[in-house]
Structure 1
Amino acid sequence: MKYEEFKSKVKEELRKQYPDWMIQEKIVYKVNMKKETLMVRPEKAENLAIPNIYLEDFYEIFQQDQDFQKAMQAILYLLQRYTRKIVDPFSQSLKKENIIIELISQKQNQELLRNIPYTPFQDLACVYRYILRQDESGMGTMLLTDDLVKVFSLASEELHDLAMKNTKEKFSFEVMRLSEMLYAVTSATREWGATALIFPETLAFLGEKIKENFYILPTSIHEFMAVPQKDCQVEELLGMLKEGNQTLITKNEFLSSSIYHYDIRTKQLKIVANYDV
């Protein structure tokens, strides 16, 4: 069964299960990804959270053993398990201190960036998230769109400055020496650690550790690596970054295809090489 036939058959089955609900096809842009989804919902779905059905994911389930019913059962389970009533977080008292920064690739997220506020940084983009919850199980966030930012009545510069302050307060960044010539920078939780790259004091501290100019490999959204300038050639580092991006991380963890250079005297960060993605 080809993908288009699979999609048609899924919609047919969903109409049987949910005859009074709307079934819509939509393209959803997530970080580093473009996903085709089905949205299945009643006409009035106020205060109702309904999961998106990412068709390609379920088509992969079908392809494993050509069992359509197995894939369909997984789709129905998703809808039944995760359709629930919610309290709109923006109907509650808003906390501006819950706005933080996530660092993502500009090139890989051009469509996503059309509808959300962001601040360019090298070949990257600072986008903004709102923390919905933070507990022992982790952090739940939502990406702030242009419409949601209006709720906070913040100008672009105010939004960025506030998010910088909040991120610095909520994230603890660590510099780890992995070997004689390799350093890693990440967060204490090992999530979104590459955001440390936007803080000048982090790079200055790293410079104090290395004691000379250094190159930076943005290896994923979760961390970046640094090597002293004298120890490596740019072409060698570019090959390492490309291989790591292609084999060691998932698509949604990709950050950049560029090598950066940091000058400890001028405290300037710049791109010195990149490869085509």
Structure 2
Amino acid sequence: MQYNTFQTVIMERLEHDIPDPKRISIQQVSKNNGIVLDGLTIMENDCNISPTLYLNYYYDSYNHGISFNDVYQSLLSDYHRHKPSQKIDPSFFTDFDNIRDKIAMKLIHYERNKELLEKVPHIRFLDLAIVFYCLISMDFTTGNATILIHHSHLKNWNITTTELFQIAKDNTQKILPEKLYDMNDVIYELSGRLTHPDPTVSRPSPYPMFVLTNETNLFGATCLLYKDLLKHFSEESQTDFYILPSSIHEVILVPTLENDCYGELSDMVREVNDSQLMDDEILSTHAYYYSRRKNEITM
């Protein structure tokens, strides 16, 4: 089944299965790294908000051998699991006092998002950019709802990018606190759960590795910017460390331990990007270095 036919059949099935009144539409959505996807939205009754279901990913599942009916049922299940229970008053976003404590920041790649960065306030950070969003809901069951902040929002709120950055720095560390854990502990735990342990799973990393993200795993790479977090980690480990940008949602900290493995670790980052990540989840293509003496990150 070709992609256009796939979209048509999905729409026909939804028109039949979702009760009226409803509005079902497909629109192109610009994602991170310049990726454009086909976003399906379903608004039942008089609801004015809907989860966005990206048909490209469901079509990939279909092309990988999952039956159309199973793919459709998965899409329908995802919609029902994430659909909002009530309307959102759009006026809440016009008054900055309403959303001030919901402003947060995230890291994206600078060069891959140049077109987007023309439209949104941002701060340059090495070869990355800090951009800002409003976290309008945070639910561990149904997921998180966010709105990317554009220049037009700042104009309406009468604030500057510098002011926005300070607010986001203060907020993000509070509402999305960091989570740091030893990757080898996770590997051993996973291996212990297997009835027939797979040696490729149970084999520890040749380097000590610590995963850094936040409690929701949403844009967790931003934890790199949290005040004194890297400084405290380096003081506890008594070493400098490499930073592997494993995705926009997490990074991996690798203590140097006198080893110069920057090239090998950068190769690892690129391999993960190519084999494990969707294109819009890629943060960067190389490792970074944190100096304990200078208390700074370099490329």
The TM-score with structure 2 as length reference comes to 0.69
Runs of 4+ in 1 over 6 A off after TM superposition: 11-18, 20-24, 39-42, 64-81
Number of positions where the alignment pairs a residue of Structure 1 with one of Structure 2: 269
Partners of 1:83 and 1:64 lie apart in 2 by 30
Match of 2:57 in 1: 57
Deviation at 1:162, TM superposition (A): 0.6
Match of 2:176 in 1: 171
Give yes or no for contact 1:49–1:86 (8 Å, CA) kept in 2: yes
**1:3-22 alignment to 2 at 5 Å?**
3-7=3-7
Partners of 1:39 and 1:175 lie apart in 2 by 35
- After superposition, give the CA deviation of every residue in 1:5-32 in whole Å (9 maximum; x if it has no partner): 44466668889999x9988764211234
The yes-or-no answer on 1:264 pairing with 2:268 is no
The TM-score with structure 1 as length reference comes to 0.73
1:159 corresponds, among 157, 160, 164, to 164
- After superposition, give the CA deviation of every residue in 1:198-255 in whole Å (9 maximum; x if it has no partner): 2352222222133333322122222332221622322211122222333444444432
Q: Which amino acid aligns with 1:30?
A: K
For structure 1, list consecutive stretches of 5 or more residues without a partner in the other structure.
272-277
Where is the strand percentage greater, Structure 1 or Structure 2?
Answer: 1
Match of 1:117 in 2: 121
Match of 2:132 in 1: 128
**1:69-218 alignment to 2 at 5 Å?**
82=83, 86-88=87-89, 90-91=91-92, 94-134=98-138, 137=141, 140-146=144-150, 147-176=152-181, 182-187=208-213, 189=215, 191=217, 192-199=219-226, 201-218=228-245
1:244 corresponds, among 272, 288, 291, to 272
Q: Which amino acid aligns with 2:28?
A: I
Give yes or no for contact 2:183–2:211 (8 Å, CA) kept in 1: no
Give yes or no for contact 1:37–1:53 (8 Å, CA) kept in 2: yes
Deviation at 1:158, TM superposition (A): 0.3
Partners of 1:234 and 1:126 lie apart in 2 by 24
Q: From the superposition, tell whether residues 141 and 118 of structure 1 become closer, same or farther in structure 2 (CA, over 3 Å).
A: farther
Match of 1:274 in 2: none
**Superposition RMSD on alpha carbons, in Å?**
4.0
Identity of aligned residues (%): 24
For structure 2, list consecutive stretches of 5 or more residues without a partner in the other structure.
185-205
Deviation at 1:130, TM superposition (A): 1.4
Deviation at 1:157, TM superposition (A): 0.3
Partners of 2:7 and 2:89 lie apart in 1 by 31
Match of 1:48 in 2: 48
Q: Which amino acid aligns with 1:49?
A: I
